[in-house]
Amino acid sequence: MTWEPLLSISWTQRGTKMLKPSLSAARRFKRELSGKEDDKIYRGMNNYHKYIKPKDSTMGNASSGMVRKGPIRAPEHLRATVRWDYQPDICKDYKETGFCGFGDSCKFLHDRSDYKHGWQIERELEEGRYGANDEENYEVSSDDEDIPFKCFICRESYKNPIITKCRHYFCETCALQHYRKSKRCYVCNQQTNGVFNPAKELMAKIQKHQALTDQPPSEEDD
């Protein structure tokens, strides 16, 4: 048998040219090994003894891929490709500013949500902080519920309330007295750096609450 390059063979006859030598060898070994046990001798990938006789049908034809050995040639007119799409396709203008000049005709996704990177999630898992504040982030709380009605230090009503950088409220005298002992917040133990601002929102709510309580009941309520 002479060697013939595959490039010189036509595409339709290429499979038959590759299959004929293996079929002739298979017939020869079939005659030699018919009725005998396996002698445990390696004869190559294409020269194994066939114990199942191919049927004389379309499925068992020599040109069919059902009787061939080794890797089967891919179909000529069908190619399966896989594309990993790592491009987010998010509108940059809408994500950064909340406005897009193209409006609804923009082909990119209008999404302003932020997603954590893989290294951020792994770091939170190592520190045990992953998913710790998820329930608090999705709670819809009222403004009045977020502000405590008593000072954390003296446990009494606010007198000249102040607010720290960590958004905690104290009486002015209580905060200054605690600052002499420790420069950290009384509640969360964060560094305050001596910054105490007047709690204008809290004072406005206290005044509003006092005005409602001091208001005499109307005749309609009776």
175 lies in some domain = yes
| Inside any domain, residue 222 | no
- pLDDT tens profile 71-97: 666 677 777 788 887 888 899 989 888
Residue 220 lies in a domain: no
Is 31 inside any structural domain?
yes
Answer yes or no: do 185 and 210 share one domain: yes
Tell me if 152 is assigned to some domain. yes
Comparison of pLDDT for 144 and 72, the residue scoring more: 72
Between 26 and 151, residue with greater pLDDT: 151
* Number of domains comprising the chain: 3
- Average pLDDT over all residues of the chain: 74
Q: Domain for residue 126, yes or no? A: no
The single residue listed with the structure tokens 């002479």 is 2
Per residue in 29-39, pLDDT (tens digit) is 777 777 777 77
To which H or E segment does residue 161 belong? strand 161-163
Domain encompassing residue 49: 1-71
Q: Would you place residue 131 in the very low, low, confident or very high pLDDT band (cuts 50, 70, 90)? A: confident
* Closest to 170 (Cα-Cα) out of 156, 182, 190, 189: 156
Task: Indicate if the alpha-carbon torsion angle 88, 93, 99, 100 is positive or negative.
Answer: negative
Asked if residues 182 and 164 have their Cβ atoms less than 8 Å apart, the reply is no
Per-residue pLDDT, 75: 72
Rounded to 5 degrees, φ, ψ at 161 are: -65, 145
Specify whether 49 is located in the same domain as 98. no
If asked whether residues 154 and 207 sit together in one domain, one would say yes
pLDDT at 155: 83
Over pLDDT 90: what percentage of the chain? 6
Band of pLDDT at residue 157, cut at 50, 70 and 90: confident
5 forms beta bridges with: none
| pLDDT value for 51 | 65
- Lowest mean pLDDT: which of 15-24, 115-124, 126-135, 169-178? 15-24
pLDDT(133) > 80: no
pLDDT at 162 > cutoff 80: yes
Instruction: Assign 1 a pLDDT band (cuts: 50, 70, 90).
Output: very low
Residue 105: the pLDDT is 93
Domain shared by 62 and 100, yes or no: no
Structure tokens at 217: 């009941």
Q: Which of 58, 107, 63, 62 is nearest to 87 (CA)?
A: 107
Strand partners, 165: none
Q: Which residue in this structure is represented by tokens 């519920």?
A: 145
pLDDT band at 129 (very low <50, low <70, confident <90, very high): confident
Answer yes or no: is 27 within a domain. yes
Q: What pLDDT does 148 receive?
A: 67
Could you tell me if residue 49 is inside a domain? yes
CB 143 within 8 A of CB 167: no
The answer to whether residues 13 and 56 belong to one domain is yes
For residue 177, give the CATH number of its domain. 3.30.40.10
